[in-house]
A and B are shown apart, each in its own frame.
Chain A
Amino acid sequence: MVPDWKALLPHRPLDPDTDQYVPPPTNGGERIAQWILADRTTVLVAGPVGIGKSTELARAAKLLQAERSAFLVRLDRFENMKRVTVDQLLLRIAGVVATIAAEELELTLSFVLRTALFRKGVLAEKPRSTSVLGIEPLPPVEASPASMLGVTIAEIANKSRRVSLILDGLEKLPDSPIVSELFDALGALGDDVDIITVLPWSLAFGGADTLLRPGERLVALSAPEVDGRDPRGRDFLQEILMRRLGLTSEDIPADRRPVFERAAIASGGIPRTFLQLVADAGTYAHMRRNDPWPQIDDLDDAIKDQVDSFRRILRKGDTNAILAIEGEDGRELDLERKIRLLTHGVLLERNAKLTVHPLVKPLLPALWTKPDA
């Protein structure tokens, strides 16, 4: 079997109905669903880029479908999250929920509500009145976006089960008043709806405690260990790879298996980074030798590509700061730097301590030992 490296699509999260899902050792999606089913009304999700937040949210949505009317709202697929307003977000949530209700749950909302959402540009299809008696429809509703969202949720809950809103994309909101305004608006929906949302970066690694209210829960998604004796982290990444390629581990030539083992370790346990390394190495192998499988040299060059990327995001003072807190809990780190380095995955949280990502270590000679060939 010849692998198609382009099929790895490291940037693409999985959909809820995918058969490619591999539960991570930390089981984020399942934990999220369990907290909701245990009657926590709000679950906040945090984790570095590439850890699989969107995939775990999709998983949680699927797991909740048995007991909830669960709506996965991928806001960043519709809106420019850097320029959107709170009103636009609330309307978009209402529109996506109404669309999913119609298309997947076969729930038709009231003509009046659908017309109002269509007029606001968040419903694709113009509603047609279903009145068989020829009765004139009621005049259009003018209501605030928050109110329209509340009404949408209420109509669905009345016809179906308790609503769970799973909101993806909020981590991209700028560090501005829009964040607190939005969370206030979502909080105002009350306890009759579950909210699961990714935390904005500015709050994910600092300040989340001030956002948590009684009954709310923070689920932090962290990278599994991949460089120790426990093989679960490496096995997890390998399984993701095999499912995305449509292969089994027996398809990998024995002499090339160390390449994937090393890629897993180099990735620091971040699924996207692992897939990027493998895709990069596989592409080099194909271009250089028309070889379907990468060799260690190809992976070494892929690693150098990633190291260069990390080099470009380090700011003045980062190196000294990283060296100072490596292996510590990071409380001495200034908040802005801490948020930035944790968000980018330059620093990884492991057992309440901060460690430097393996791909950053070559940039810090004091911490780096060249791996054996």
Chain B
Amino acid sequence: MKEWLGLYRQHGELRVDGRSAVSEIRQVLKHIGESRGSIFAPHIASRLQQLNNKRNGNQEFRFADEHGEPLLLKNHPDWHETGHRRIHLDEVRLHIYVVVNRRDNIQEVNLMVEGKRRDTEGTLAIAVHLPDDQITEKADGDRQGIGACGHAAFHCHVGPTLDALPKLRVPLPPIRPARALEWMLSQVVPAYEPALWRDVKAALKAPLTSA
């Protein structure tokens, strides 16, 4: 119980600095967009677009193409790479929705990537969610399901679709939403790895600097 309680608290702490969280997501998109052989078009970070409601102070950030639809990632030759990637996806779409309230807290984050599997002709969807924390008469905000273990606030789904059974809900560590986006994209974008083992090894060997 104690660790699940601790994780729930840590997930709550992820909500602070909402605008900064959005900028961090843009940084991830930008870095992928700039890499050689990128699957993203230039200016990809500018496609995370903002709307403000002056009356309630809420802001919506949505990743969309020029028609307001989820962005279709280019089919890149590396999609066909063999090696450790077992699944080849076509028509990959990326969805990003973030709602930030007037206190600069993240109200909800939804990140999804979905595509068509070439091997089975089925589909694959990976999603990361941090649900709306508004507690109302009929809902307990991000305290969904029956407990903090089976329904951790910050979680991911992997499956043919987001609704296909069994609808497993995997708890995520208390990482910023931008890091969760990195993880999600690392599962489907060939050769994308923001924390290469060689860099991790080098960091482990480096002397600890005093605080």
Task: Give yes or no for direct A-B contact (beta carbon below 8 Å).
Answer: yes
User: A289 to B43, alpha carbons, bound, how many Å?
Assistant: 12
Neighbouring A residues of B46 by C-beta, 8 Å? 287
Neighbouring A residues of B121 by C-beta, 8 Å? none
User: A288 to B43, alpha carbons, bound, how many Å?
Assistant: 10
Smallest CB gap from B47: residue in A: A287
Neighbouring A residues of B41 by C-beta, 8 Å? 290
Smallest CB gap from A288: residue in B: B66
User: A353 to B174, alpha carbons, bound, how many Å?
Assistant: 68
Shortest beta-carbon distance, A281 to chain B, in Å? 16
Q: Mark A273-293, 1 if CB is under 8 A from B, else 0.
A: 000000000000001111000
User: A290 to B41, alpha carbons, bound, how many Å?
Assistant: 10
User: A290 to B43, alpha carbons, bound, how many Å?
Assistant: 11
Number of interface residues of A (CB under 8 A): 4
**Which of A287, A288, A289: most chain B Cβ within 10 A?**
A287
Shortest beta-carbon distance, A343 to chain B, in Å? 34
User: A8 to B41, alpha carbons, bound, how many Å?
Assistant: 24
User: A288 to B66, alpha carbons, bound, how many Å?
Assistant: 7
Q: Mark B64-76, 1 if CB is under 8 A from A, else 0.
A: 0010000000000
Q: Mark B41-74, 1 if CB is under 8 A from A, else 0.
A: 1010010000000000000000000100000000
Shortest beta-carbon distance, B29 to chain A, in Å? 15
User: A288 to B46, alpha carbons, bound, how many Å?
Assistant: 10
User: A290 to B66, alpha carbons, bound, how many Å?
Assistant: 11
Neighbouring B residues of A289 by C-beta, 8 Å? 66
Shortest beta-carbon distance, B65 to chain A, in Å? 10
User: A289 to B67, alpha carbons, bound, how many Å?
Assistant: 11
User: A287 to B45, alpha carbons, bound, how many Å?
Assistant: 12
User: A224 to B66, alpha carbons, bound, how many Å?
Assistant: 38
Smallest CB gap from A287: residue in B: B43
Smallest CB gap from B46: residue in A: A287
Q: Which of B7-49 contact A (CB under 8 A)?
A: 41, 43, 46
Smallest CB gap from B43: residue in A: A287
User: A183 to B43, alpha carbons, bound, how many Å?
Assistant: 50
User: A148 to B177, alpha carbons, bound, how many Å?
Assistant: 66
User: A64 to B46, alpha carbons, bound, how many Å?
Assistant: 50
Smallest CB gap from B66: residue in A: A288
User: A93 to B41, alpha carbons, bound, how many Å?
Assistant: 50
Shortest beta-carbon distance, B84 to chain A, in Å? 33
User: A288 to B41, alpha carbons, bound, how many Å?
Assistant: 11
Shortest beta-carbon distance, B15 to chain A, in Å? 32
Neighbouring A residues of B66 by C-beta, 8 Å? 288-289
Neighbouring B residues of A290 by C-beta, 8 Å? 41
* Interchain residue pairs with CB less than 8 A apart (5): A287-B43, A287-B46, A288-B66, A289-B66, A290-B41
Binding site for B on A (CB under 8 A): 287-290
Binding site for A on B (CB under 8 A): 41, 43, 46, 66
Which 5 residue pairs of A and B lie closest in terms of their CB atoms, listed nearest first? A288-B66, A287-B43, A289-B66, A287-B46, A290-B41
